């Protein structure tokens, strides 16, 4: 399948059942199961890359869409793990409960995770052990923009955008008055089970339009997951052995008794939630509102325990509590959304989105006491006005202007309150123009943004003005071939964590110190793409080169505070270079069965201009996937080889990470192909029970990814 082609729709759209919570009618399986006219699939609209809503094939930016059968096959407990096999994307993996996407080596506050076009409004950028308050199982599709999305979405999109679209505010009337779906699944690696369902219901005519109600809900629970061997890596155990010998002599035998083996302790989870939405759909648009509740409780594996303050001693007779820290997270969210087409002077369409969320999570100690309480109350809104298409220089000129605001009231109270309570305000305006002249396409855009941070207790604050510009040129010499080049200069304001951190952060095993004097991070980059599409073959190559002035990252200073190494936020010039390459080909047609092969590879190299220790931390190694797939009306079978090489380009305080090779297999059965919604999926991941550690994870030497896993899912729709 074309899961790795940035201009594709879902490759298995021809064989997919409805997404679990789908709200739009789908073409019956039997009608499209053997349609191999690949180019028509590039006609799917992608809304994240531009307000003009170009198709994936029309964008110069490196974008991709995951939906349908592909999304169902990839679903994991977190957004990061769901997208980890996408070229150029990795995960912060902090156990099943928490995982945020990393795009081209950039994560945290440089990657925006959107919920239907508006930020997640949570605390996930603050720390890798904080879950993203966006549920992948309710997604109809996920759109990814690699490279800077700053022009549209602000400083926190400097490295890319992930937009999770759930359809909980309906934009169309369901065919037949009602549609929906249900998904049930269970997995062996953690004895987990999951249920999710949703529907859209037409409530009838009202005021020249139709009222449509949406409802959905989900529940997921799992135990501690199985691992192939020791939780700690061989490198870390050898290092600890050497330290013990140095402290207690060469004759000391290091005891491995009690070390976690065969299971990732404290990795259990329970997640549930749901939403209700109401839309008024009319001839030239819709307006709607939704309310969402999201709750999750999950363990933090890897020995994440709060140390005693220096000099603090346990009371005599006090027993050490068993277990680890768990996180109890809750979010309540309200969203408004609407689009109206019409004659608005220079404009033909208006889009608006507004979101509000009240978020909190408690980090609960083994004795049941709350160690740290994080709260985040936030608003975000955006307005986009799309220009009318007009003639210009013998071609067609269109564009959009818009504005965006974000308000954030963040607080952390307790033992791990490494960031003081702060208020953040961000306001931005942007403009984009696109010109199509024959075989050429030109894009130009700019953004002005003001960001201010203020510490609530002291009133001290920083204010930043940022200007960003981007331009692209695309050329299509023939129908099957496209070339594109994009250049940009962006300015990112430092985050509150980078400015004001000052305390122990046990998730990262560091005492973190911010720098309130940091200036904007300036990036200048260029990205080139080439893609080739025929009826039976697709290939794409994307290369990027970005230089940073005052790139902000954490660096150890050699000191120890509260028993933890001190890491300071510093800024240095840096360079990121890399590529993604993908292809798919139809190999053969054997009667009713079509055989396809695909392959992808991605790589990023990130260094600073420092004379020593120039490697930046947690940069993913070269990795890729090779797949072979057989598709038919009644069944699809896919075998997949996933690999990554050793990462030995390490920063200070990092250990190298071994490479890995995984074998995965997926079987989809459709016993009633004329019924678009009934399917049974059986997936086997890490079938050889390989020890896999992600270099991008702070836990990589404390706990590996899950071992062999068999998942069975049943899906139906109506």
3-class SS string, 379-431: EEEEEEEEECCEEECCEEEEEEEEEEEEEEEEEEEECCCCCCCEEEEEEEEEE
**If you average pLDDT over residues 439-443, what whole number do you get?**
94
Q: Is pLDDT at 82 greater than 70 in this prediction? A: yes
End-to-end, the C-alpha distance of the chain in Å comes to: 26
Q: Is pLDDT at 151 greater than 70 in this prediction? A: yes
Beta bridge partners of 585: 537, 597
Number of neighbouring beta carbons within 10 Å of residue 591? 6
Place of tokens 């062996």: 188
Residues in the chain: 718
What domains does the chain contain, in order, with CATH numbers? 11-225+264-302+324-717 (2.40.170.20)
Give the C-alpha separation, 91 to 618, whole Å: 10
Residue 522 parent element (H or E): strand 521-533
- Pair 127, 108: CB distance under 8 Å: no
Instruction: Report the pLDDT value the prediction gives residue 688, as an integer from 0 to 100.
Output: 96
Q: Is pLDDT at 309 greater than 90 in this prediction? A: no
* pTM across the whole model: 0.89
Q: Is pLDDT at 88 greater than 90 in this prediction? A: yes
What single DSSP character describes residue 225? Answer: P
Instruction: Report the pLDDT value the prediction gives residue 322, as an integer from 0 to 100.
Output: 64
Q: Is pLDDT at 529 greater than 90 in this prediction? A: yes
Instruction: Report the pLDDT value the prediction gives residue 302, as an integer from 0 to 100.
Output: 82
Instruction: Report the pLDDT value the prediction gives residue 226, as an integer from 0 to 100.
Output: 97
Instruction: Report the pLDDT value the prediction gives residue 14, as an integer from 0 to 100.
Output: 28
Give the C-alpha separation, 422 to 405, whole Å: 17
* Pairing state between β 440-455 and 141-146: unpaired
Give the C-alpha separation, 375 to 599, whole Å: 43
- Residue 313's pLDDT band, with cuts at 50, 70 and 90, is very low
- Pair 676, 28: CB distance under 8 Å: yes
Q: Which tens digits make up the pLDDT trace of 596-636?
A: 999 999 999 999 987 677 999 999 999 999 999 999 989 99
**If you average pLDDT over residues 308-315, what whole number do you get?**
40
Place of tokens 């109890």: 328
Structure tokens at 168: 């909980």
The residues, ordered by sequence, that sit 6+ positions from 676 with a Cβ below 8 Å of its Cβ are: 17, 18, 26, 27, 28, 29, 717
What Rg do the C-alpha atoms of the chain give, in angstroms? 25
Average pLDDT value over all residues in the chain: 87
Number of neighbouring beta carbons within 10 Å of residue 449? 24
Q: What percent of the chain stands above pLDDT 90?
A: 74
- Pair 4, 625: CB distance under 8 Å: yes
- Pair 580, 88: CB distance under 8 Å: yes
Q: Which tens digits make up the pLDDT trace of 21-69?
A: 333 333 333 333 334 344 444 456 777 888 887 776 778 888 888 988 8
Higher local confidence (pLDDT), 53 or 213: 213
Q: Is pLDDT at 306 greater than 80 in this prediction? A: no
Q: Which tens digits make up the pLDDT trace of 168-185?
A: 999 999 988 999 999 999
What are the phi and psi torsion angles at 27 (to 5°)?
-70, 135
SS3 category, 260? coil
């Amino acid at each position: 399948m074309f899961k790795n082609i940035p201009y594709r729709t879902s490759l298995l759209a021809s064989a997919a059942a409805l997404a679990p919570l789908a709200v739009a009618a789908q073409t019956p399986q039997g009608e499209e199961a053997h349609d191999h006219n690949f180019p028509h699939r590039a006609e799917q609209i992608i809304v994240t890359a531009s307000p003009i809503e170009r198709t994936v094939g029309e964008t110069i930016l490196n974008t991709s869409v995951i939906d349908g059968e592909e999304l169902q096959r990839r679903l994991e407990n977190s957004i990061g793990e769901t997208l980890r096999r996408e070229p150029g994307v990795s995960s912060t993996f902090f156990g099943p409960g928490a995982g945020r996407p990393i795009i081209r080596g950039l994560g945290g506050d440089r990657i925006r995770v959107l919920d239907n076009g508006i930020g997640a409004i949570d605390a996930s950028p603050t720390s890798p052990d904080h879950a993203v308050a966006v549920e992948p199982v309710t997604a109809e599709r996920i759109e990814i923009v690699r490279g800077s999305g700053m022009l549209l979405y602000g400083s926190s999109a400097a490295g890319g955008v992930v937009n999770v679209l759930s359809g909980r505010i309906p934009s169309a009337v369901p065919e037949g008055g009602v549609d929906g779906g249900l998904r049930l699944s269970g997995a062996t690696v953690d004895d987990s089970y999951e249920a999710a369902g949703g529907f859209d219901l037409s409530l009838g005519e009202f005021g020249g339009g139709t009222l449509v109600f949406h409802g959905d809900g989900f529940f997921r629970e799992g135990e501690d997951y199985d691992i192939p061997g020791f939780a700690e890596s061989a490198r870390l155990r050898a290092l600890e052995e050497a330290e013990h010998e140095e402290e207690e002599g060469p004759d000391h035998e290091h005891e491995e008794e009690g070390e976690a083996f065969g299971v990732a302790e404290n990795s259990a989870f329970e997640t549930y939630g749901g939403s209700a939405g109401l839309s008024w759909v009319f001839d030239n648009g819709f307006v709607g509102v939704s309310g969402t509740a999201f709750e999750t409780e999950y363990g933090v594996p890897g020995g994440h325990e709060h140390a005693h303050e220096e000099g603090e001693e346990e009371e005599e007779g006090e027993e050490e509590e068993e277990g680890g820290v768990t996180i109890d997270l809750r979010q309540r969210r309200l969203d408004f959304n609407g689009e109206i087409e019409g004659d608005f002077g220079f404009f033909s369409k208006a889009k608006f989105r507004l979101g509000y969320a009240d978020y909190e999570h408690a980090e609960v100690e083994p004795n049941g006491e709350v160690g740290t309480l994080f709260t985040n109350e936030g608003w975000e809104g955006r307005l986009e006005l799309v220009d009318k298409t007009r003639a210009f220089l013998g071609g067609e000129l269109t564009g959009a202007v818009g504005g965006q605001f974000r308000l954030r009231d963040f607080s952390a109270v307790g033992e791990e309150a490494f960031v003081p309570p702060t208020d953040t305000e961000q306001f931005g305006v942007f403009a984009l123009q696109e010109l199509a002249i024959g075989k050429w396409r030109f894009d130009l855009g700019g953004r002005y943004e003001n960001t201010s941070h203020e510490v609530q207790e002291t009133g001290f604050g920083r204010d930043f003005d940022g200007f960003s510009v981007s331009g692209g040129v695309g050329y299509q010499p023939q129908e099957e071939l496209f070339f594109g080049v994009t250049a940009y200069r962006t300015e990112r304001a430092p985050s509150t964590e980078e400015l004001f951190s000052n305390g122990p952060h046990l998730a990262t095993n560091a005492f973190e110190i911010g720098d309130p004097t940091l200036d904007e991070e300036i990036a200048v980059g260029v990205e080139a793409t080439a893609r080739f599409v025929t009826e039976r073959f697709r290939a794409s190559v994307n290369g990027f080169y970005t230089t940073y002035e005052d790139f902000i990252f954490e660096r150890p200073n050699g000191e120890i505070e509260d028993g933890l190494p001190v890491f300071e936020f510093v800024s240095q010039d840096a360079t990121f270079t890399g590529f993604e390459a993908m292809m798919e080909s139809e190999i053969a047609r054997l009667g009713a069965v079509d055989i396809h092969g695909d392959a992808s590879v991605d790589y990023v190299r990130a260094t600073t201009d420092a004379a020593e220790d120039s490697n930046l931390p947690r940069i993913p190694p070269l990795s890729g996937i090779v797949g072979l797939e057989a598709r038919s009306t009644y069944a699809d079978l896919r075998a997949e080889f996933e690999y990554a090489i050793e990462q030995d380009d390490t920063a200070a305080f990092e250990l190298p990470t071994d490479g890995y090779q995984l074998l995965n297999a997926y079987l989809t059965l459709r016993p009633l192909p004329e019924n678009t919604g009934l399917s049974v999926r059986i997936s086997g991941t890490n079938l050889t029970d390989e020890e896999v550690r992600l270099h991008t994870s702070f836990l990589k030497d404390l706990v590996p990814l899950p071992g062999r896993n068999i998942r069975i899912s049943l899906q139906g729709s109506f």
